[in-house]
Amino acid sequence: MEVEVGNIRTASLEEIVRESEVLSRLRHSRRFKGPCGQCRYNMLCGGCRAKAYISGDLEGSDPTCLLYMQTWSREEGKN
Q: Which residues bind ligand SF4 (CB under 6 A)?
A: 35-36, 39, 41-42, 45-47, 61-62, 65, 67-68
Distance, first Cα to last Cα, the chain: 35
Q: Which is nearer to ligand SF4, 18 or 33 (by Cβ)?
A: 33
The CB-of-2 to ligand SF4 minimum distance in angstroms stands at 22
The CB-of-13 to ligand SF4 minimum distance in angstroms stands at 27
User: Helix, strand or coil for residue 41?
Assistant: coil
The CB-of-67 to ligand SF4 minimum distance in angstroms stands at 5
Residue 24: what residue type? S
For the four alpha carbons of 22, 27, 20 and 6, in that order, the dihedral sign comes to negative
